[in-house]
Structure 1
Amino acid sequence: MVLVLGWLAVLFTAGAAQAAPAGPDTASQSAYLAGQLRHDPVYISDQMPRVVPRSTAPAFAAEAKRLHVPAYVLVLPSASSGGMGSGLLAGIHDRLGRKGLYVTVSESGLSDVQTYGVSLPGAADAKTATLYELPYDATPREVFRHFVDVLTSGQAHRRAEAARATYGGAYNTHEPPTLHTTQTDRENQSFLTGTVVAGVPLSALLITSHALRRRRVRRRPDVPGPAGGAKDGKRKDGTAKNGRTQKNGRSVKGGPATAVGGPGPGSAPRRGWLLPLGALVLAGLLAFTASRVFSDTSTGDGSVPTAADLRTRVDRVAEGLRHDPLYVDPESQSPLDSAQRAQLHERLGSLPVPVLIAALPSSPDDESGGNADLLAESLHNRLHRDALFVIADLPSGSLSVVNYGTRVDTSALYGASREPAAGYRDASTLGPCLDRLLASVAKAPTSRTAGEPLPPLPAKYLLAQQKLPGLFTGDFHPGLFIGALAALLLFGLVVAVWAIVARLGRRGARAMAEAAAPVEPRQSWLRRTARQELAALTAELESAGDLPEEARRRAWECLDAAALLIDGDSDGRIDDDATPAGLACAITLARVGRTAAREPSAATHVCHRNPLHGAAAGQTAKRPAGSRKPLPRPVCAACQETPGEMLRLYGSDGSGRRGYSPYPVHPGPLAALAKGAGTDQLTREVRESFGVQ
């Protein structure tokens, strides 16, 4: 009997020890926080070590010291920080009983600012300016620093009004630029860098090479040698320009003759490697510039939590659970009243298995990364005690059950832990939800396989989470591919636009050329243009200064020959009986004369396709009828690229029919140009036709 009574006494004592609370109800949130501020005017919650470690308290204290008034700073999770109108700061001040500036800061920004017994003008405006001027990614440390900067600037009101006017529109319509580079930002930066590093140099290389190739094609003559001169640099006497006699394309000494314009021994070799080298240098410069612009190596304000910061909350909760199986976070507003606490303690004392309840906020910024299973594992490791751990999230009221060492089949508790006791679940329904869960634990079946949960997923390594990947990693390589593809597309677009513009330009130039030198000019146009061209040539010769003797001679000979053709009476007016061939020849001579006055070497020949085009710029090979050997004929630059139509003049074609016919069939000196005659020969034939020496 004595043994039985002793055994019952032991059971009763153990149950009473578990069921009995550790004393009176936990102090209210404001009383707890006031007690913390009594020891240190800066209190940082241990529930956000990833964004604001407790070890950064000296930095907050240094900023608060700049205000020169007593300042009490609370850094709390947004779920616990209250806000304007919550009365949290008023309750803290009533319990602390000290004058000063009271500030609550959360991961979302400034929660509330109040002054008690001190004069600090602009505190409310500084809060408003901080709210609008800082982006959403500002850390609590940066928020408080900015608040102090605005408050001590003496311009808090002006800055608040300006910030409200700038950023006070609809939500997210106009946000200030972000302060920190995120992982997604770094991926975008890497992709952009790869696109630019590959796309810009490749585009420059392709477009420049294409432009140089087109330039070489335009500058390459169709027939070597100057217009009217001998080919391959030979003189008419068979000697080369260096004085050596050539025979059958070889010099007297037996060496091969070198074509004019070809790469000789003394010519500089083409440096085709310069463009690719320049593209590589440009790519390197762009990569270096990108590394300077996107130089961030970590996200956030650089605050790194210590090992003590990461274990403080777990130690605090574990210490509370050692004394009481029901732990409610003192930093948060308690969702349980005294009656609910007493009822839950009674339930806990009557359960056949130990149950530990921890009610506290959970967020991605805590040491567990918001993972309730990981928090339960940490508590189990600290307590070294098997129990059924219940993690209640504040203020949502959601429950997570993790079994360590008990034989309770937790699958039977799923409904009780997930379904609300009555209506919508929030902090106000936490008491009924916990009571229902504990009732389910009392009735839950046991299982031999229960007692060891699956290993929880580890929280992201903090330093790895804050450290940004290298700029030239990740999406940099896809960016290279996209940049190269974009360069090819851009090159194709440029070539297409270039071709269209060139075609339109040629069409416009041809239209202008046709207006200045029509293929079938009318008599009125010939007379008007002849008068204008002769007047222009006369004016240029009268205003010309020191001209070379050869240029002066050729220009005056052209003017005299043109005057003989159309002004036989020497009265300064065009003769009424001037023929179209004579008018066209006069226009040609006047234009060549003007060219001789400006560039004497370019006025030796005239375009044989249409003499109205003026001086020739090169030669083209033409095979006369009945001849096997093509003969060179002078042409202008436009006809050298695209042969134009032959000039046709109005008149009789020799058979009595009148109409437009090619100019060589018309009598007069102009027909000699079709055979490649030069300017001097044309002026000589004009003088001979008029009997002038």
Structure 2
Amino acid sequence: MFATVAALLTAGTVLLTAGAAHAAPAQAQPQVPAPTGPTAQGQFAYLAAQLRRGPVYISDELPRAVPRSTAPFFAAQARRLHVPTYVVVLPFATSGSLDSGLLAGIHDHLGRKGLYVALSEMGLSDVQAFGVSVPGAQDAKTATMYEMPMDATPREAFRHFADVLLSGQAPQRADQARARYGGAYNSHEPPALHTTQTDREDQSFLTGVAVVGVPLTALLITKYAGARRRSRRDPSAVDTVGSGAKPGGGAAPARPRQWPLLELGALALAALLAFTASRVFDDTTTGDGSMPTAADMRARVDRVAEGLRHDPLYVDPEIVPPLDAAQHAALRERIGGLPVPVLIAAVPMSTADESQGDEDLLAKHLHDRLRRDALFVLANPASGRIEIVNYGIHVDASYLYDRPRDLSSADPATAPLGSRLDRLLTYLSKAPRAARPGQPYDPPPAPDPVAQQKLPGLFAGDFRAGLFVGGLAAVLLFGLVVAVWALVRWLGRGRARAVAAAAAPVEPRRAWLRRTAWAEVDALTAELESVTELPEEARRRAWECLDAAALLADGDSDGRIDGDATPAGLACAIVLARAGRATVREPSAAAYVCHRNPLHGTAVEQRSKPPAGRRKVPIRPVCAACREKPGEVLRLYGADASGRLGHHPYPLHPGPLAALANGSDIDQLTRQVRESFGVN
């Protein structure tokens, strides 16, 4: 029994210890002092030591991408998984590949069961479970890697991983994501999460184009359509605008003052578009909103400076040691024997660090922090680059600049850092002395990370260019609309002219006149017999038109066109029959026909456009087509006054039809026809 109780107490102690480590607050995460030289434990031991103090460790080399102050967020997401979870966030260049054994090495040195997660500034790197069962962890990792876009931050990637793992659908999500976003690299990329600086420039430009282009296009087209409509209603108004005179003479009546409704509507539309754009494109920062603190930005400089105070050769403990213990000791001894002070820092550089990858700026920060003159040698184990910055040492600058190429840059896979540093120290030991101490130019400061993530205003930057392009596009689009409109009208007029030419030829043949006269008289007869309700005046006019047309076409009432019917008589019969049919269809139809070609049918105006060179507008009825463009005068075959045969204008032919040239109406025409036949 006591053994059982002891076992339970032991198990409870282990669980409490693991739970305490899992739930330890990551905000106040003190960093274990970095070893000044390589140890047998190396990178794994250092990271395990950091995780003993808290379940989340964020490298201080990524303040612009993953500030260390965001550790509480990662800890909160880890607690959601209800299993001891340890999270490390390291630079992508130093975290190693998936088969580097990083998480396994950390677990071996930490000795705690749980779910181990590695992230970098690129997102989720690796997930491994040791001593615990976490079903779906690998599937959740797969789904996260496929479903999250390239601009997803480590915070967003880890939260997405936790969401997928807790959903209970991790295997299905992984299969769906692999099927949807698999394939060639970047061929099926999920949509971006954040608005970049370039995106904001495009949004500003598009907003400017829309704010000016859409309302201006609508305004121009609407005003043009209104002007066209007014010109169709009163064509003479176009000629008298601005002249201050009426068509018949005298002053034009003053128009009442009107509000510019179209212009106000365009302004309202522009304001609405601007307001809508400000709500749609409402991002103010790029990224997930995490901003580094001042402590985040100086953490790595403090760590490296503290290491260099105790050892002139500092190797970043977060990376795989590029030097073994023997190399480290030998290099330290050689540094101590040099005639000039040398400080070497083997640290990786990236655009996400406090210096934004600028070695000169990092050297300046270290010099300012140490307050010590020396040759600062910055070696990047990941890229193989070596930079030398001289602060206050009497060494020839050209000698440092003209050093062998492999002492500046080399492939770390083929040129180990230890041997290169050894050759560099040999080279520095032979450096000629300079009369003046070295003093490099002050490098420009790195961009402020807060300002770097802040997006410019929507109505700034390319917004003005968008306004100009929008106005230009509106004018071009308006011109295109007008051109298309004119083309459509021209084609429509062509078809209308073709139809009109078939129904009202300028020089009709005798056969056409006989055939059409019979068809029109027959059609009018049928319409009058079928109509039940018709105003008395319209009924009278229609029957008079039928009687007059019958007299002209079939004077002997034998049911056939008279053989001696003249072209002028047949044309007059067609005009009367069509006028009667128009009255039956529309009792309020005008009592006039087109004076230029009576076969055109009912007139719509009693004014035509003034001929060139004449100021007075003739009062003669015209059809719609002749109002826009005066058509040719009807010409009929026959002999003129001098006896010459041919097609002559219809007013020159004898008969009642000639009266239409003087503006006579249909009632006058029917009376003249009856009088010519002696019918009352």
Q: TM-score range by the shorter chain?
A: 0.7 to 0.9
C-alpha deviation, 1:681, in angstroms = 0.6
Whichever residue aligns with residue 688 of structure 1, its letter is E
Residue in 2 aligned with 1:455? 442
1:75 pairs with 83, 89, 92, which one? 89
State the distance in 2 between where 1:386 and 1:27 align: 33
Q: How does 1:37-436 map to 2 (within 5 A)?
A: 37-222=51-236, 264=253, 268-271=256-259, 273-416=260-403, 418-420=405-407, 424-426=411-413, 428-436=415-423
For residues 337-364 of structure 1, the C-alpha deviation after alignment (integer angstroms, 9 at most, x for no partner) is: 2232122112112112221111111111
C-alpha deviation, 1:473, in angstroms = 1.3
State the distance in 2 between where 1:538 and 1:390 align: 113
Please state if 1:665 is matched with 2:652.
yes
Return the TM-score normalized by structure 2.
0.87
Whichever residue aligns with residue 304 of structure 1, its letter is M
Q: Is the 8 A contact 2:38 2:325 kept in 1?
A: no
Whichever residue aligns with residue 520 of structure 1, its letter is E
Q: How does 1:604-615 map to 2 (within 5 A)?
A: 604-615=591-602
For residues 447-506 of structure 1, the C-alpha deviation after alignment (integer angstroms, 9 at most, x for no partner) is: 232232211110001111111111111221222222222222222222222222222222
State the distance in 2 between where 1:413 and 1:288 align: 59
Q: Structure 1's 422 and 533: CA in aligned 2 closer, same or farther, altered over 3 A?
A: closer
Q: Structure 1's 507 and 422: CA in aligned 2 closer, same or farther, altered over 3 A?
A: closer
C-alpha deviation, 1:26, in angstroms = 6.5
Residue in 1 aligned with 2:47? 33
Residue in 2 aligned with 1:597? 584
Whichever residue aligns with residue 216 of structure 2, its letter is L
Whichever residue aligns with residue 203 of structure 2, its letter is Q
State the distance in 2 between where 1:676 and 1:535 align: 27
Q: Is the 8 A contact 1:417 1:437 kept in 2?
A: no
Q: Is the 8 A contact 2:650 2:658 kept in 1?
A: yes
Q: Is the 8 A contact 1:420 1:429 kept in 2?
A: no
Return the TM-score normalized by structure 1.
0.86
Residue in 2 aligned with 1:582? 569
Whichever residue aligns with residue 508 of structure 1, its letter is R
Q: Structure 1's 137 and 417: CA in aligned 2 closer, same or farther, altered over 3 A?
A: farther
For residues 617-641 of structure 1, the C-alpha deviation after alignment (integer angstroms, 9 at most, x for no partner) is: 11346999xx998752211111111
Q: How does 1:649-664 map to 2 (within 5 A)?
A: 649-653=636-640, 658-664=645-651
Q: How does 1:436-451 map to 2 (within 5 A)?
A: 436-451=423-438
Greater shift, 150-159 or 256-265, is seen at 256-265
Q: Structure 1's 105 and 651: CA in aligned 2 closer, same or farther, altered over 3 A?
A: same
- Give unmatched runs, 5+ long, in structure 1: 1-20, 225-255
How much identity, in percent, do the aligned residues show? 68
State the distance in 2 between where 1:468 and 1:363 align: 23
State the distance in 1 between where 2:618 and 2:247 align: 22
1:634 aligned counterpart, secondary structure: coil
State the distance in 1 between where 2:523 and 2:249 align: 37
Q: Structure 1's 621 and 140: CA in aligned 2 closer, same or farther, altered over 3 A?
A: closer
Whichever residue aligns with residue 189 of structure 2, its letter is E
Q: Is the 8 A contact 2:542 2:583 kept in 1?
A: yes
Q: Is the 8 A contact 1:41 1:71 kept in 2?
A: yes
State the distance in 2 between where 1:195 and 1:213 align: 26
State the distance in 2 between where 1:393 and 1:678 align: 104
State the distance in 1 between where 2:246 and 2:563 align: 56
State the distance in 1 between where 2:615 and 2:124 align: 97
Q: Is the 8 A contact 2:246 2:252 kept in 1?
A: no
State the distance in 1 between where 2:648 and 2:237 align: 29
Greater shift, 541-550 or 184-193, is seen at 541-550
1:74 aligned counterpart, secondary structure: strand
State the distance in 1 between where 2:302 and 2:130 align: 34
Greater shift, 342-351 or 565-574, is seen at 565-574
C-alpha deviation, 1:77, in angstroms = 0.7
Residue in 1 aligned with 2:502? 515
Greater shift, 529-538 or 335-344, is seen at 529-538
C-alpha deviation, 1:378, in angstroms = 1.4
Residue in 2 aligned with 1:489? 476
State the distance in 2 between where 1:490 and 1:635 align: 36
Q: Structure 1's 526 and 23: CA in aligned 2 closer, same or farther, altered over 3 A?
A: closer
For residues 4-52 of structure 1, the C-alpha deviation after alignment (integer angstroms, 9 at most, x for no partner) is: xxxxxxxxxxxxxxxxx96763632122112222221211111111111
Q: Is the 8 A contact 2:385 2:408 kept in 1?
A: no
C-alpha deviation, 1:163, in angstroms = 2.5
C-alpha deviation, 1:536, in angstroms = 3.6
2:344 aligned counterpart, secondary structure: strand
For residues 516-555 of structure 1, the C-alpha deviation after alignment (integer angstroms, 9 at most, x for no partner) is: 2111223333333334433443444344453332222222
State the distance in 2 between where 1:660 and 1:209 align: 46
- Size of the aligned set, in residue pairs, is 638
Residue in 2 aligned with 1:550? 537
Q: Is the 8 A contact 1:422 1:429 kept in 2?
A: no
C-alpha deviation, 1:138, in angstroms = 0.9
Q: Structure 1's 682 and 300: CA in aligned 2 closer, same or farther, altered over 3 A?
A: same
State the distance in 2 between where 1:335 and 1:587 align: 109
C-alpha deviation, 1:608, in angstroms = 1.1
Greater shift, 473-482 or 138-147, is seen at 473-482
1:394 aligned counterpart, secondary structure: coil
Over aligned residue pairs, what C-alpha RMSD do you find? Answer: 2.9
State the distance in 2 between where 1:98 and 1:622 align: 100
Q: Structure 1's 183 and 23: CA in aligned 2 closer, same or farther, altered over 3 A?
A: closer
C-alpha deviation, 1:513, in angstroms = 1.2
Q: Structure 1's 556 and 122: CA in aligned 2 closer, same or farther, altered over 3 A?
A: farther
C-alpha deviation, 1:300, in angstroms = 0.7
